[in-house]
Amino acid sequence: MKGKTVVATGATSGVGEKAVLALARMGARIVLVARDQARAQATLGQLERVAPGLGHAAHLADLSSMADTRRVGGLIAGSEPRIDVLVNNAGAMFADRRVTPEGLERTFALNHMAYFLMTRALGGTLRASAPARVVSTASDAHAWASLDFADLQGAKAYSGWRAYGRSKLANILFTREAARRFAGSGVTVNCFHPGFVASRFGSETGGWVSRLVPLARAFALTPDQGADTLVYLASSPEVADVTGGYFVKRKRAEPSAAARDDAAAKRLWLASEALAGP
């Protein structure tokens, strides 16, 4: 990873933070996108300690906002002449249905649309930097989910678990369609399931989930263990030419039938384009 630049969202705690620290130790320069300035500065401090003098940087953005995601994506595209890896990792689950000022349900906005918008914003730079990689954090929570294209925002019926599962299904469908669209460019696109990890995930969910998660963490993987497949997909020569895959514990796995539906993947991409605008 020496001389390479990695742009990463959701990298100030948990799996994302451990992944960027590991990649920095391998020689990568890290560009963070974070919501919280204090945590961003703390992570930059850690990066500087483990891999000093590489010019690690941080940008602040609310990735549940399409406008802010477009802004920070454009800023990074304009300031980074080379991007070797884009890591889409920011995500959350919310017990109550709330919508963003742009009218999107928050889980869908943060867990799916931010992936879509960041990849679109940096796509030109990734192509120009090829060989390059996009790695996105999905989950086996997709397995019980299905997409309702007539109700992508969960307005008819909402539960936090259902919305989260659908967003993770969307991550895998996004990966499949993005891989198809980047085919032949030298840019690979893959996603992975990190496992249940002891991290900040669930701390802002609300309701009974926020009460249960601290108890469940006693049986969870460490963030380093959860980050292992992310680091592998971002750096290993073994997967340099692999694209469109869903990985678990460094192995390519078969997701649910709904996640293998290429027609749904294309339909989701077109719906996302319509929501995102030009």
More confident residue, 51 or 212: 51
Q: Indicate the number of domains in the chain.
A: 1
pTM for the predicted model, two decimal places: 0.92
More confident residue, 207 or 170: 170
Q: Which residues are catalytic?
A: 164
CATH number at residue 13: 3.40.50.720
Cβ atoms of 156 and 277 closer than 8 Å: no
pLDDT tens-digit map of 177-187: 999 999 999 99
What does DSSP say about strands 5-9 and 251-253: parallel, antiparallel, or unpaired? unpaired
More confident residue, 216 or 223: 223
| Domain boundaries, position 248 | 5-276
48-52, 209-213, 217-221, 223-227: range with lowest mean pLDDT: 209-213
Cβ atoms of 134 and 188 closer than 8 Å: yes
Q: With the CA atoms of 55, 13, 142 and 87 taken in that order, what torsion angle do they form, in degrees rounded to the nearest 10?
A: 0
DSSP 226: H
Cβ atoms of 77 and 124 closer than 8 Å: yes
Bridge partner list, 105: 99
Q: Whole-angstrom Cα distance, residue 76 to residue 235?
A: 21
Supply φ then ψ for residue 35, to 5 degrees: -90, -35
